[in-house]
Amino acid sequence: MRVAAIDCGTNSIRLLIADVDLATGSLTDVVRTMTVVRLGQGVDRTGEFAEEALERTFAATDAYAERCREHGVEAIRFVATSATRDARNRDVFLDGVEARLGVVPEVISGAEEAALSFRGATGALDAAHDAPFLVVDLGGGSTEVVLGTERPDAAHSMDVGCVRMTERHLEGDPPSEAQVAAAEADVHDAIDMAFAGVPVERTRTLVGLAGTITTVTAHALGLPEYDRDAINGAVVPIDDAIRACDELLASSRAERSALGFMHPGRVDVIGAGALVWRTVMTRVRTAVVEAGGELPHVVTSEHDILDGIAFSAAERC
């Protein structure tokens, strides 16, 4: 069955058109694309979508609707996450999407977001990686952590992400020590709440998803340009990943722009995303080591919530 999965987050809107075979559990990409629309612009401060952010997102939705028609999609599932959960005027956005796609968009909870991300990521993992898996999906407005083996056993959605932390704390270019310290304190508070309900010390394989983490991985690998095949499944020593985060956080926007793998829509927010990711990695490794285990590396996956949405769309038909 040919389905379309659309994930509309705080920073980007992404489309996956795929052929799904539920009998074999296989998913074959037809189209996988992303547009930075910054739907969550100012939502953390105002509680509402900005008019210009809605216009950017509607334009991308129009383009995605056309691609769905071109490729003969049989079913579409449109999922909206953190920014839409927070916005008081979400109905304007939801009505606009429905008018353009002909399907009712769904504002999913952080728990469902985590479950879909876990399914998408672990379904494509190499059998060499040991469970339990801790999947971390770091977005623009929220970060999901979910622990499980074949399915999620525990999950938590934290209201920290690259756009939210940038707007809340990291205004400097590059950010000041005081701004970084305030952001780190915010992230640690969120992690304290998350780890109270998710036993991360059981983690055997840490898996990172989404644009911030794939960008950090590109930097850790020293890639001259963004290479999805090189990034997908990459096993990176945690110390190398943390070093890459440090460098991206400390760099100016001009320096980030000069990196061949850097998407223009991530230049201003990658520092905050890197801060969140290094803090999560450090805290998870500490918890694992204190429990008598080890966590020497992190695995990056290009398969994420989009894949989970696509499978769920096929199952509904």
Domain residue spans of the chain: 2-110+306-316, 126-300
Q: Is 126-300 the same fold as 2-110+306-316?
A: yes
**Cβ distance 9 to 139 under 8 Å?**
yes
pLDDT digits (tens, 9 = 90+) for 193-219: 999 999 999 999 999 999 999 999 999
Give the span between the Cα atoms of 186 and 252, in whole angstroms.
Answer: 22
Neighbours of 136 (CB within 10 A): 25
Which stretches in the chain have pLDDT values below 70?
none
The pLDDT of residue 11 is 87
Instruction: Round to the nearest angstrom and report the end-to-end CA distance of the chain.
Output: 9
Nearby residues of 95 by Cβ (< 8 Å), 6 or more positions away: none
35 - beta bridge partners? 13
The pLDDT of residue 294 is 96
**Regarding the domain delimited by 2-110+306-316, which CATH topology (the fold level of the hierarchy) does it fall under?**
Nucleotidyltransferase; domain 5 (3.30.420)
The pLDDT of residue 115 is 87
The pLDDT of residue 40 is 86
Residue with tokens 């999913």: 108
Tell which phi-psi region holds residue 71, choosing left (phi > 0), alpha (psi between -120 and 50) or beta: alpha
Give the containing element (helix H, strand E) for 16: strand 12-21
Give the span between the Cα atoms of 259 and 223, in whole angstroms.
Answer: 9
**Tokens representing 76?**
């579409």
Distances (CA, A) of 296 to 90, 128, 284, 293: 42, 15, 11, 10
Q: Phi then psi for 7, rounded to 5 degrees?
A: -115, 115
**Tokens representing 80?**
């909206």
**In three state form, how does the secondary structure of 87-107 look?**
CCCHHHHHHHHHHHHCCCCEE
**Strand, coil or helix: what is 82?**
helix
247 - beta bridge partners? none
Give the span between the Cα atoms of 136 and 144, in whole angstroms.
Answer: 6
The pLDDT of residue 87 is 87
Strand ranges (DSSP E) for 108-168?
133-138, 143-148, 152-158
**Tokens representing 141?**
């407005």
Select from 142, 179, 138 the least CA-distant residue to 277.
138
The pLDDT of residue 9 is 87
Give the span between the Cα atoms of 238 and 102, in whole angstroms.
Answer: 44
**Strand, coil or helix: what is 110?**
helix
Global confidence as pTM: 0.89
**Cβ distance 93 to 49 under 8 Å?**
yes
CATH superfamily of 126-300: Exopolyphosphatase. Domain 2 (3.30.420.150)
Give the span between the Cα atoms of 276 and 279, in whole angstroms.
Answer: 5
The pLDDT of residue 64 is 97
Q: Phi then psi for 241, rounded to 5 degrees?
A: -65, -40
The pLDDT of residue 35 is 94
The pLDDT of residue 18 is 96
Give the containing element (helix H, strand E) for 18: strand 12-21
